[in-house]
Amino acid sequence: MSLIHPTALVDPACELDSSVRVGPYTVIGPHVQIGAGTTVGAHCVIEGHTTIGRDNRIFQFNSLGAIPQDKKYAGEPCELVIGDRNTIREFCTFNIGSPGDRAVTSVGNDNWIMAYVHLAHDCVVGNHTIFANNTQLAGHVIVDDWVILGGFTVAHQFVRIGAHAMTAMCSLLFADLPPFVMCQGQPAQARSMNFEGLRRRGFSAERISAVKAMHKALYRDDLKLDDAMLRIQALTERSPEAAPDVALMLDFLKDASPQRGIVR
């Protein structure tokens, strides 16, 4: 029995694994590739040069692979690439990239993306993230692994959100959000570190203690950023187990945009 509903419009030039399920009234364009085990709900439109991996669950009423909302776009074959085991709930809009940047919008693996999420052109989403309802990312935003974005979070273009960071509902990000940091507000301000999330991911007491020390250096002791980074670097001497976490933070801070700065 065919796994493609008879009312679906699937271009014969697209590449769908034989195990892909397609719901009623869905439209799939000629340059689309979808891997094994993925299900696509009803009334979806998947178009453009879009590649979707294995075992994804794409719910009804999604628009994936439409052209970017960028007036400079002139029909270039930019891409949307989605990895494996992602859940994409209703009414999400993921655009392809634009020629002025990477030309690719990408989503990694094992992400949980709730309803009405927008990923603009050239966004990069890592692995194991959670996007609550109505999260909106402007173009060129980077979201690292294990990030949790609260409902109605909005990120300005070119912002980067570090690994294990978390935003509260209705947060507005104009600056880069460092790893581990929890923020809230319009514009967003740092409130704490995502300690509970780290515990759930198996961080040891020593690693969590080092994250607390990083928070103190960045936000509690009124240090300039360069001085805070020196103090964070010194944490590896007394907490060797936390060396990867310290490196993650320092690499992020070194690469933070000088125009936007970081959420403080």
State yes or no: is 139 an active-site residue: yes
Select which of 122, 145, 176, 245 is catalytic: 122
Residue 197 in contact with residue 179, Cβ under 8 Å?
no
- As beta bridge partners, residue 93 has 63, 118
Q: Which residue has the tokens 């970017």?
A: 68
CA angle 77, 162, 238 (to 5 degrees): 145
State yes or no: is 122 an active-site residue: yes
What is d(CA 35, CA 16) in angstroms, rounded to the nearest whole number? 6
Select which of 121, 140, 164, 215 is catalytic: 121
Select which of 65, 139, 150, 197 is catalytic: 139
CA distances from 101 to 73, 123, 224, 262 (A): 11, 10, 32, 22
Nearest Cα neighbor of 45 from 68, 20, 62, 69 is 62
126 phi/psi in degrees, rounded to 5:
-80, -135
Q: How many CB atoms lie within 10 A of CB 238?
A: 11
Q: Active-site residues: which are they?
A: 121-122, 139
